[in-house]
Amino acid sequence: MCGIVGYTGTQQAAPVLLDGLARLEYRGYDSAGLAVRNGSDLAEVVKSTGKLRGLIEKTDGGRSLAGTCGIGHTRWATHGEPSQTNAHPHVSGNCSGSGSGLVESEVTGVHNGIIENYLELKEKLSRHGYQFYSDTDTEVVVKLIDYYYKKYKIGPVDAINRTLVRIRGTYALALMFRDYPGEIYAARKDAPMIIGIDGSESYLASDVPAILNYTRTVYYIGNLQIAQLRPGEVHFFDLNGDEIQLESTQITWDAKSAEKNGFEHFMIKEIYEQPAAVRDTLTSLVTEGRITLEAAGLSDEVLRGISSVRIAACGSAWHVGMAAQYILEDLAEIPVRVELASEYRYRKVLHVDGELLVVISQSGETADSLAALRKAKDLGIRTLAIVNVVGSTIAREADHVLYTHAGPEIAVATTKAFSAQLAAIYCFAVQAAYVRGLIDSDQYDGYLRELASIPDKIERILEEKERIQWFAAKYANARDIFFIGRGLDYAISLEGSLKLKEISYVHSEAYAAGELKHGTISLIEDNLLVIGVLTQKDLFEKTISNMAECKARGAFLMALTSYGNYSVEDSANFTVYVPKTDPHFMASLAVVPLQLFGYYSGVARGLDVDKPRNLAKSVTVE
C-alpha cells in the first residue's frame, strides 16, 4: 500500500521520480506528490489527487521541476480523506494551505504506514507552537522530527532516532532536510523500503520495480535502521546513531518482466507467464531428478521431525494454504491447520513440539503474515517462509525460506505468484512424504514427472482461452456467481471466486459443495451462474449431484473438469476441460481457466483490471 520513491544524483530528479511512481501504481493510491530540491533553501512541492497522470500533467512530465534531489509518493488514504492537502509530501513549516509550491521548510517528508499515537504527539507539538494544515499522521511525524532537530540542535540521524523511539506503529519514511541539500534520509519499521546504488546515482523505493530500470544493486534496510543517501553512496545507522554495514543484494529479475510487452494488461501477461514461473520455481528446487531443500535448511532430519504444520497467510496465499492442507495431509500424513494471519496474530495459540509454521507471501512484507511469523518465533516455533522477494522482511526473519521464481508481479490480482507458491508446496509435500517413508522411489519419480509436465499443460489451457473469453462476456453483467467444489476443488473454488470479485466487482462466493443444503441453496434462483469444480475423481459424483440440485432450482451450470470426464456434459450447460495430471497437482491447472474468467469478466465490464478499486498489491498495514 502506498508507494515511495527517492532519487539523488546528477540528473533531473522529477522525471525519475515520476517513472518510479508509475511502476508502483499497482500498490494502490488515491493521490500523488513530489518534492524536489535544487540546492537552495526551498523545496518545490507539487501534489495531485486521483491518478498519477494529474501529477505528470502538472509538472510537464517532471520537466518543470528543476533539481537533482527529490522524493515522491502515491498515497492510500488512512488518516484524512483523499485530498490535495492530505497528499504527500508533507512539510514541517506552518503552511496555511496544502504545502504545495515553493516551500521554506526545515524538513520535507513522505511516509507509508500508520502512526498509532499521532493524536497524542500532535497535541504535544501544538503546545510548542506547531500548526497543522492536514489530517494526516505523516505531517505529525515530519513536525516531530523538526521539533527534535531544532530543540537539541542535532543532525538528521539523531533527530530521526529521537522520533523513532516516540512513535508507535508501522512506517517507511523518506525525508529531506533544508540544511543538507542533495541528501535523503530514510527509516523503516515493518513497512518495505529498498535502497539502490549505481555509479553517482542513489535511489530509494517501496519495491524493486520502481528502480529496476536504473540499478540492480540494492540494500534492504532493516527495522529501526536509518539510511543516509548521497549521490552514489549510502550509509546506514542504528538507533544509537552508530554507523553499521549492510550487505547489498543483486536483483536478477529481467527488467522487461515489469513491462507489458504488447499485452493489454499486466494481469493477462502474468497469466501467460505462469508456465515460466512454475518451471523456474521447480527448477530451483529439483536437481538431477531429486528435490533439494537443503539450501533452505530443510534437511531430511528436519522433515522427519515435523509433527504438524500450521499455515498462516492472507488472500490468495491463504488459498494456497488451503490447497496445501489437502496435499500435505494426504501425501505426507502431516496434520495441517490453515490460519488467516490476521486471526492467528491476535489469539492464544496452542502448539505442540515439532510444529512448523509456514508463512506464504508474494511480497514477503504482508503486515499480518509478518506479525504471525514473529509471534510463532516468540513462541519458539520453527518457521518456514514461501516468498517471491529475496531479502524481504519475512524472508530475512524466517528460519527457513523457499523462494518462488515468479519475477515481479505488477497486477494487483495475483496469478503467477499463486502458481509458483503451489509449485513450492508440491515439492515440500513430495519430499516430506518420501523421507518419511510414505512413498517409494518409483512413486517419487512419478510425482516428479507429473510436476515437470505442469508448465506445458498450462500452455495448452491458454491456447483455448477464446471459449472462456466468450463465456465471460456472456455473464459479465451477472449480479451473483457461486463456485462450489469438494476437497481440493473447494480450495480451487475459493481462488476462482476471489479472482472474479477482485477484478469484475461481481459478488461471488465459494462454498464447499456439501454445505449447499445447510443454507446456501436458498440463494439459488433462475439463471444464476454456478461454477462447479470437479477435478477429484473420488468426489466427482458427489459434486455432480450438488450441481444437479442447483440446476433443478433454475441455476445455469458451468463445469470445470479434466479431459475424460465427459459425462459432466449431461448435467452442465457449459464445460471447460483441463489436461489430466496427478490429483494432488490439479489446482495448478484448474485455476487457470478461473483466472481467465475473472480477467475477461473485468475487461467486458470496462474496468481497470490491473488496479481494481480499493485494493493494493501489498498490504503492509492493518
Residues with catalytic roles: 2, 617
Could you give the CA distance from residue 350 to residue 372 in angstroms, rounded to a whole number?
14
224: left (phi over 0), alpha (psi -120 to 50) or beta: left
Half-sphere exposure of 427 (CA within 13 A, CB side): 29
Q: Are 320 and 428 in contact (CB under 8 A)?
A: no
> What cell does 587 get?
489446482
Taking CA atoms, 205 is separated from 24, 112, 165, 196, 615, in Å, by 9, 11, 23, 8, 20
Kind of pairing between the strands at 184-189 and 169-177: antiparallel
Q: Are 195 and 221 in contact (CB under 8 A)?
A: yes
417: left (phi over 0), alpha (psi -120 to 50) or beta: alpha
Residue type, 235: H
Q: How many CB atoms lie within 10 A of CB 396?
A: 15
> What cell does 514 get?
456439501
- For 431, the 3-state DSSP assignment is helix
> What cell does 90 get?
508533507
Could you give the CA distance from residue 48 to residue 38 in angstroms, rounded to a whole number?
21
Could you give the CA distance from residue 559 to residue 467 in angstroms, rounded to a whole number?
13
Could you give the CA distance from residue 384 to residue 404 in angstroms, rounded to a whole number?
13
Q: How many CB atoms lie within 10 A of CB 51?
A: 16
Residue 327: which of 519, 489, 105 has the closest Cα?
A: 489
Q: Are 120 and 106 in contact (CB under 8 A)?
A: no
Q: How far is CA 388 from the centre of its chain?
A: 9
Contacts of 444 (CB under 8 A, 6+ apart): 430, 434
Q: Are 36 and 30 in contact (CB under 8 A)?
A: no
Helix (H) or strand (E) holding 336: strand 336-340
Residue 359: which of 300, 326, 322, 318 has the closest Cα?
A: 318
Torsion, Cα of 12, 16, 18, 20 (10° steps): -160
Q: Are 240 and 165 in contact (CB under 8 A)?
A: no
Q: Are 398 and 385 in contact (CB under 8 A)?
A: yes
Helix (H) or strand (E) holding 484: strand 480-485
Could you give the CA distance from residue 176 to residue 160 in angstroms, rounded to a whole number?
11
> What cell does 263 get?
499485452
Residue type, 533: V
Cα Rg of the chain (Å, integer): 26
Residue 454: which of 483, 485, 430, 433 has the closest Cα?
A: 430
* Residue in the structure block whose three cell numbers are 540499478: 215
